[in-house]
Amino acid sequence: MKSCCFTGHRNIPAEDIVSVKFDLDITLRSLIAKGVSAFYCGAARGFDTMAAETVIHLKKTYPFLKLYLILPCKGQDVYWNESDKKKFAFILSHADDVQCLYESYNKHCMYERNKALIDSADICVCYLREKTGGSAFTVALAAKRGLHIIPIAGTGGIESELLSNQLNLESLEFE
């Protein structure tokens, strides 16, 4: 089974939202046509939420798709606004499986979640605008582990820097 994970920023600029949604839909349809049927998501706000919602929407057309959530810890939405909490609850209710790595937040849980996402996938679809932070680290680690990286609209060429090893994996900071 071919599988795909997602990583991206929590904040998507308003001018990127339409192009990111469109590019995500087209990209996932293309991956499905090539045999990808399992999608792994960390269910964070922003790009993760958008990716999970896209998979849920596509499941109506492609009922064989599976959405697997890998959560860093229980209660990850405790400080989110009501709108984001509702989206999170919707995603949880439509997931085929939910794995929660830790009982509560700790300084390693996000990193461990990102590693688990990469370990589950052959392909990493990313929305990346910054050279530092958790998303940049995850893309760099995915590339280092040999995953095929697919950037989504708005990425701005940063992925090419990561993939050409211009950034040192160990120097990247977490979000």
> Is pLDDT above 50 for 28?
yes
- What is the pLDDT confidence band of residue 169, given thresholds at 50, 70 and 90? very low
Lowest mean pLDDT, pick from 45-49, 55-59, 127-131, 165-169: 165-169
> Is pLDDT above 50 for 153?
yes
Quickly count: other Cβ atoms within 10 Å of residue 161's Cβ: 14
Query: What is the mean pLDDT of the segment spanning 104-120?
Result: 95
The whole-model pTM stands at 0.88
End-to-end CA distance of the chain: 31
What pLDDT is stored for residue 154 in this prediction?
59
C-alpha–C-alpha distance, residues 22 and 33, integer Å? 17
Residue 13 C-alpha from the chain's centroid: 17
Quote the domain boundaries for residue 71. 2-171
C-alpha–C-alpha distance, residues 43 and 22, integer Å? 19
What pLDDT is stored for residue 170 in this prediction?
43
Q: What CATH number has the domain bearing residue 49?
A: 3.40.50.450
Burial class (CB in 10 A: 0-12, 13-18, 19+), 164: exposed
Domain count, the chain: 1
39-94 pLDDT tens trace: 999 999 999 999 999 999 999 999 999 999 999 999 999 999 999 999 999 999 99
Q: Are 116 and 151 in contact (CB under 8 A)?
A: no
